[in-house]
Amino acid sequence: MEISKEHRDVAAGTVTDEELARINTFAKTALKADEVYTFAVKLCDNEVDRDFERFPRKTLEELAELFVGKSGIFDHNWSAQAQTARIYRTEVVEEKRVTAAGDRYCYVKGYAYMLRNEKNEALIEEIEGGIKKEVSVGCSIKKSICSVCGREIALCEHERGQRYGDTLCYAELVDAADAYEWSFVAVPAQRQAGVIKRFGQGENGTLRELIKRHGTQAQAREIEQLEHLSALGKSYLRELRREVVRLMLTAEESLDGALVQTMADKLDEPELRELKKVYEAKVAKKLGLLPQLKAAQRSAQSEDESDFCV
């Protein structure tokens, strides 16, 4: 899974001897302090973003290591000519505030350098003037885990942004595989700018958009059919969960409704069906209801035994 996350905050800094020593580990020829310009960038954090995804702290720590040495470009244009700066060190910074996920807010802070030359002069002025502020990162994550049920979010029926009881559904991006680049973005803060999915060498968009752009009509129809079936499946599971919760609360009135709902949200379809079967029987017993077959058998038994009544 290749993703890109946008963040604001680029702060200019000065070059110390220690920083210069770190920078020179990436330089072929030793640079002097007056030849480089340094600044700090907030690369990514652990807050739930606009697309209901987030990096947990462990993933941020993995990304912090992977981003050391990575180049800064413009608008995710993977070209040597577009390279403008390089990250020479990173750290995970923690703040006192709490995220929507309930943990302490933290982010990956990257320290970058670029050469002070005529080519970069305008960019340095834009950073100093606050014009260039938004940064987006490109990286590869192995798993996207549902915050509700703990399974791969692509394989479960929960929908990002929806609440299941008191739990908000979002994707936990875990197991960082690689960090590709970080980029100054030209159009910041757009609704869809927070996450860019890429397939292959820089293709942008969802699978539906990719097929629409490059696929056949048959493939487009197949995607529509799969989306329709997926929607039906999610609707069925929602109704099944609702019925299981109803049966459990009917059978055992002392149960806490919110707790039962939270439990049901974490179960998959086979588990829900089994639970439905168990509580249907409990409700029938509690309300004095008998299946027609049982009632018929009992009636027949009574008739057979009537001949022996004295």
Q: Nearest 5°: phi and psi at 220?
A: -65, -40
Cβ(7)–Cβ(94) below 8 Å: no
* Residue 54 to residue 196: CA distance in whole angstroms: 14
41 confidence band (pLDDT: 50, 70, 90): confident
- Maximum average pLDDT range among 8-22, 124-138, 186-200, 295-309: 124-138
Q: What is the pLDDT of residue 32?
A: 92
16 confidence band (pLDDT: 50, 70, 90): confident
Lowest mean pLDDT among 71-85, 142-156, 220-234, 258-272: 71-85
Contacts of 187 (CB under 8 A, 6+ apart): 193
Lowest mean pLDDT among 16-30, 94-108, 149-163, 290-304: 290-304
Q: What is the pLDDT of residue 131?
A: 67
Q: How many CB atoms lie within 10 A of CB 210?
A: 18
Positive or negative, the Cα torsion across 248, 251, 257, 259?
negative
Q: What is the pLDDT of residue 212?
A: 64
* Residue 181 to residue 66: CA distance in whole angstroms: 10
Return the axis-axis angle of helices 257-265 and 217-251, rounded to nearest 10°: 150
Arithmetic mean of pLDDT over the chain = 77
In this structure, what token pair is assigned to residue 216?
Answer: 């056949």
**CB-based burial, 257-279: b 16+ in 10 Å, e otherwise:** eeebbebbbbbeeeebeebbeeb
In this structure, what token pair is assigned to residue 95?
Answer: 């703040």
Tell me what the mean pLDDT of segment 227-245 comes to.
84
Q: Nearest 5°: phi and psi at 120?
A: -95, 0
DSSP 129: T
Q: What is the pLDDT of residue 307?
A: 47
Cβ(98)–Cβ(104) below 8 Å: yes
Q: What is the pLDDT of residue 2?
A: 46
Question: Taking 80 as the threshold, does the pLDDT of residue 219 lie above it?
Answer: no
